[in-house]
Amino acid sequence: DVKVTQSSRYLVKRTGEKVFLECVQDMDHENMFWYRQDPGLGLRLIYFSYDVKMKEKGDIPEGYSVSREKKERFSLILESASTNQTSMYLCASRDRGSLNEQFFGPGTRLTVL
């Protein structure tokens, strides 16, 4: 079974802190994604990566950056957390050519105070 794991299920940070969200997948997938999910807004794509050291902006990249130094790991970075970044963050991975099989992690509920 594909497994996508995220470093924390719940995280509380203060405004202005630098926040790292880690995602690891164990199936050698090329593509990895970061979404945020908010009530009434659904899933919104922040960034995605289709290879090591490659990244593409999604729909809402402002205030975020990403890092993909190894194939299995995709990190989301909030350089200076703000209260409007309080959200559920979901990581996903997908094999190249397997369009339909996008696997999600369990999510990290981030609260910024």
Residue 1 binds to another protein (criterion: CB under 8 A) = no
Of 58 and 63, nearer to another protein (C-beta) is: 58
**In the block, residue with structure tokens 């350089």:** 79
Do the Cβ atoms of 6 and 72 come closer than 8 Å? Answer: no
Among 26, 28, 56, 79, binds another protein (CB under 8 A): 56
To another protein, the closest distance from the beta carbon of 8 in angstroms equals: 14
The whole-angstrom separation of Cα 15 and Cα 19 is 10
**Interacting residues of 68 by C-beta distance below 8 A, sequence separation 6+:** 32, 49, 51, 52, 53, 54, 55, 74, 75
Q: Which stretch binds another protein (CB under 8 A): 11-19, 38-46, 61-69, 72-80?
A: 38-46
Positions touching another protein (CB under 8 A) are 4, 30-31, 33, 40-43, 45, 48, 50, 56, 58, 90, 92, 94, 96-97, 99-107
